[in-house]
Amino acid sequence: MRAAASGLALFVSGVAILAVMTSAATAQSIEDLKTGLKVTPPAGYRAELDTKSGFTARIVVGKQDDNETICLVDFQGGLGPELARLTQDQLNRMSRELDQNAAMKGQFEAVKAVEHLEHAGVVGAILTGNFTTAPRHSSILVIYYTTKGRSTVSCFTRPETFEARRADFVAVAKGITFPQ
């Protein structure tokens, strides 16, 4: 219950940041200088650093004309001891084989599909469904593991606009530069 409330607070925080973003940030790359996490949003989107999240780095990406379409690009540095000793090739193999439905149980529901996406030599798992903390929004979640940590791209929109926004969400997931 506490994790769900925390997740909802992070989602609401991201929406609040999105609401105050200016058009000056439109389609410009945004980088967290401490980690090197960088995002180049697709046309029609804007991005801004969120320095108050609980993640090592967070960049909020939003659709210019739609405050209910938002992506949270998060990086959590470091991996647990079992993963820290793996190479990128081993992490990619794990990403292809890991049952993401089971791994996200309780946090992500109504998974309609699990696909894979390769970007910059890193294999990510894409889940399409709904986060339990944002039940009235359709979502896409992309999870990447690198030797530096875990990067996720969580995008939300109203169900009626989801299919129209899905390609944009994948573009956000392909528009990141991983921390080095």
Q: What is the pLDDT of residue 118?
A: 96
Q: Is 174 helix (H, G, I), strand (E, B) or coil?
A: helix
Q: What is the pLDDT of residue 18?
A: 46
* Interval 82-129: pLDDT, tens: 899 999 999 999 999 887 766 666 666 656 667 899 999 999 998 887
Q: What is the pLDDT of residue 116?
A: 92
Cα 151 from Cα 35, distance rounded (Å): 11
Q: Provide the CATH number for the domain around residue 122.
A: 3.40.1000.10
In which residue ranges of the chain is pLDDT below 70? 1-27, 101-113
Q: Pick from 121, 167, 110, 160: which is nearest to 144 by CA?
A: 121
> Terminus-to-terminus CA distance in the chain, angstroms?
34
Total domain count, the chain: 1
Cα 71 from Cα 42, distance rounded (Å): 12
Enclosing domain of residue 28: 2-177
Residue type, 39: V
Compute the C-alpha angle 97/99/105, nearest 5°.
160
How many residues are recorded in the chain?
180
Q: What is the pLDDT of residue 127?
A: 86
